[in-house]
Copies of this chain bind each other. A is one copy, B any other.
């Protein structure tokens, strides 16, 4: 293990250069315009995996963007097998004008690397690859069998991953699923995530008159689709932040007293949190703490809204239509399809007869809770303690990795969510970045993880 740690230490500059190359490729999966770049990114990743000593590197085609597979399977049939899952696609960059440096020209500043995808998820994928490279180069082998599956459609709901998993079930068979796509509770606070929220993402378009109208000549005679859209959105929540969709909370698992106590034990600076967001106060569903609202309660947010004249000046138009993207974060045991239906039904109920409303579901994923005393989780806890010198925190996460449930179901293996991001690193926002300290510690923790997993499995075998 010593040689491996020395290798990681002595190769940091090279590892950062490798990450920069990876980040420089604009693999934006949501936007058809970037299709060629996404393909280029998959090709670059495949080549890099081979260079790092991984075997059977292959691009697995899907209806959309390809997934990249690689493995190293010489640890023996008694050694456990780990499947690492990550994604090489990234979110769009807009609003571009808020970036202080071009999103696809990575730069290192104050111990952080800035670029779209730095922390979500290219940086966390690369630290895993670097851990494997370090073991292979220093020991010539890995303690366990490792498979990697790195997809290109996570940011668009992993459309085709389920098909891939079912088609290649045998080949992807494993004992533990390892994912690095979550955030630590805070700087230097190693964390393991045991709960994730789900997601239902909808788009509404409200249609009024058959063309944009002059608001003077026609104002007063026809319903305004933008006003109507706002009126509908206003009916989605009440003054206490409770979502008004009938049946929305039916299958929400309430926070147990035990979990409430656990949450309260976590170090949490409410005012510092608000300050970091430039807010006087946090705000959310009445009757719950901020951490409960973030981790254990569902939410509803407008992600985007547009209609009419949005340029400079004062155009007196009565718009023909207006649209909004609205998403809901889900918690166990809500079902993303059930919520999508309930959302659409409610919208149809509150839609005024004066407009025509279109509702479509853009994507969804179910919430997940994972076993916290599995072999994989215990190995991860030891590994993080060795890498960071302190016991890791057990936490939930407000975001979604819809694929976790699918991985668990299809591969029937324990899941370990060992992430190295920070919530202050602007995921999905301008100036996304990743701490280089965590980039290195992440590689170290991962190397430890493989060794600890072998020990614990041997013990339990």
Please provide the chain A residues from 309 to 359 with a CB less than 8 Å away from any CB of chain B in the complex.
309-319, 322-325, 327, 329, 353-354
Q: A306 near B305 (CB under 8 angstroms)? A: yes
- A98 at the B interface (CB under 8 A): yes
What 3 A-B pairs are tightest by C-beta distance, nearest first?
A216-B399, A210-B278, A30-B313
| Smallest Cβ-Cβ distance to A32: which chain B residue | B312
The proximity string for A residues 260-300 relative to B, scoring 1 for CB distances below 8 Å and 0 otherwise, is: 00000000000001000111111111000010011001011
Q: How large is the interface on A (under 10, 10 to 19, 20 to 34, 35 or more residues)?
A: 35 or more
A297 to B237, CA, bound (A): 32
Chain B residues lying within 8 Å of A354, measured Cβ to Cβ, are: 279, 281, 283
Does B315 lie within 8 Å of A303, measured CB to CB? yes
A interface residues with partner B (beta carbon < 8 Å):
30-32, 91-92, 94-95, 98, 155-157, 183, 197, 199, 201, 203, 208-224, 226-227, 229-231, 233-237, 273, 277-285, 290, 293-294, 297, 299-319, 322-325, 327, 329, 353-354, 362-363, 397-400, 423, 426-431
Question: Which of the residues B31, B227, B235 comes within 8 Å of A237, measured between beta carbons?
Answer: B227
Task: For the complex formed, measure the closest distance between the CB of A180 and the CB atoms of chain B, giving whole angstroms.
Answer: 15
Hey, which chain B residues are within 8 Å of A197, CB to CB? 216
Q: In the complex the two chains form, what is the Cα distance from A399 to B317 in whole Å? A: 11
Closest residue of chain B to A29 (Cβ to Cβ) is B313
In the complex, the answer to whether B305 meets A318 with C-beta atoms within 8 Å is: no
A-B contact pairs, 11 of them (CB 8 A): A31-B313, A209-B277, A215-B428, A218-B398, A219-B301, A229-B230, A305-B307, A313-B362, A314-B325, A314-B327, A317-B429
> CB distance B92 to A220 under 8 Å?
no
Complex Cα gap A221–B275 (Å): 13
Query: Most B CB atoms within 10 A — which of A199, A234, A281, A322?
Result: A234
Let me know if A284 and B220 touch, CB within 8 A: yes
In Å, the complex CA distance between A301 and B329 comes to 32
**Given A230-B234, A303-B308, 18 extra CB contacts under 8 A:** A209-B278, A209-B279, A211-B426, A216-B400, A217-B423, A219-B329, A220-B329, A221-B293, A223-B283, A280-B353, A304-B308, A304-B309, A304-B315, A304-B319, A305-B307, A305-B308, A306-B307, A315-B325
In the assembled complex, which residues on chain B have CB atoms less than 8 Å from the CB atom of A316?
Answer: 199, 201, 303, 327, 399-400, 428
Q: Please state if A305 and B303 are interface contacts (CB–CB under 8 Å).
A: no
Q: In the assembled complex, which residues on chain B have CB atoms less than 8 Å from the CB atom of A297?
A: 220
Which residue of B210, B306, B426 contacts A277 across the interface (Cβ within 8 Å)? B210
Contact residues in B for A226 (Cβ distance below 8 Å) = 233, 301-305, 324
